[in-house]
Amino acid sequence: MIRELRSDREVRAACGDDDLVVWAAQGLRGGARAWALGDAVVAGCPGVSRRDRLAVWGDVSCAVELVRHALGELGATYRPLGDVGLVREVTAKLDGLEEDGEFSWMSLPGDALVPAPAMGASAGEGAGAGVGWLGGDAEPEVAALLAAEAPQSYAVPGEAGVRRWAGVRVGGVLAAVAADAWSAPAVGLLAGVATRAGFRGRGLAGLVCGWLSRELVAAHGRAALMVDDGNAAAIGVYERIGYRRRRLLASYVSG
């Protein structure tokens, strides 16, 4: 029998504290809902990382029934996502679902976080480099940097769910940024990473992401992010911080 989960604690217990499901559940705030059946759980939230997302976890046969139920409750705009094999089987068994694309979810438990490195000359020492939270007056600079260097970024200043930006300046110029965006109570999310072209190769993205990751872990207990599988340079940066990679597949309701 399908049962609706009514609290963040219930969600975490039902899915074995799976960080993707816990993140998608968003603490069951903002219209988020979650259900369990047997050894499977789904959790959906509207507008999280700019999509209506439905995280899927557990046994295939139960997951099929949960996804069918959740889409009936939440609507056809929701996009199931989860481990590649699981979502591929669920998609094949449900009429009207089509595979969308694969990408990676990377998670960072607190005990896997690599300590902060000493800042060296290559990272801008002597040029005033230092990572910190940016004030609201820096948002036009952040928006311009993203438009030039990461125009596909889901996180942009002013977008709902994008809480705040971290950045590093070199010689007074905003050189690299990253955002705390769509974080859940028990999973902080890192997004909106960009480095100005003239400052690449200095390790600045690693500095900003490492600093922000430590802030997210301190606030939420762990951190996570989403990255395209083809972005080997970014994946390498995240792995050096301590993030662990997990391949995901998303699907959608066709028509």
| Torsion, CA 159, CA 251, CA 20, CA 244, rounded to 10 | -100
Class of domain 109-246: alpha beta
- Please tell me the predicted confidence (pLDDT) of residue 119: 45
Over residues 40-55, the pLDDT tens digits come to: 999 999 999 999 999 9
Per-residue pLDDT averaged across 68-72, rounded? 98
Per-residue pLDDT averaged across 60-65, rounded? 98
Confidence of residue 243 (pLDDT cuts 50, 70, 90): very high
Over residues 78-105, the pLDDT tens digits come to: 999 999 999 999 999 999 999 999 999 9
Over residues 112-144, the pLDDT tens digits come to: 777 776 544 344 443 335 899 999 999 999 999
Which residues are within 8 A (CB) of 157 and not within 5 positions of it... i.e. 6 or more apart? 139, 140, 142, 143, 165
Task: Tell me how far CA of residue 124 lies from CA of 55, 135, 175, 239, in angstroms.
Answer: 40, 21, 10, 22
Q: Which of these, 58, 48, 59, 50, lies nearest to 25 by C-alpha position?
A: 48
What is the distance between the alpha carbons of residues 113 and 11, in angstroms, rounded to a whole number? Answer: 25
- Please tell me the predicted confidence (pLDDT) of residue 63: 98
Q: In the chain, where are the structural domains located?
A: 3-95, 109-246
Per-residue pLDDT averaged across 185-190, rounded? 98
Q: 3-class DSSP state for residue 233?
A: helix
What is the distance between the alpha carbons of residues 194 and 15, in angstroms, rounded to a whole number? Answer: 33
Mean residue pLDDT of the chain comes to 94
- Please tell me the predicted confidence (pLDDT) of residue 182: 98
Per-residue pLDDT averaged across 203-224, rounded? 96
What is the distance between the alpha carbons of residues 202 and 210, in angstroms, rounded to a whole number? Answer: 14
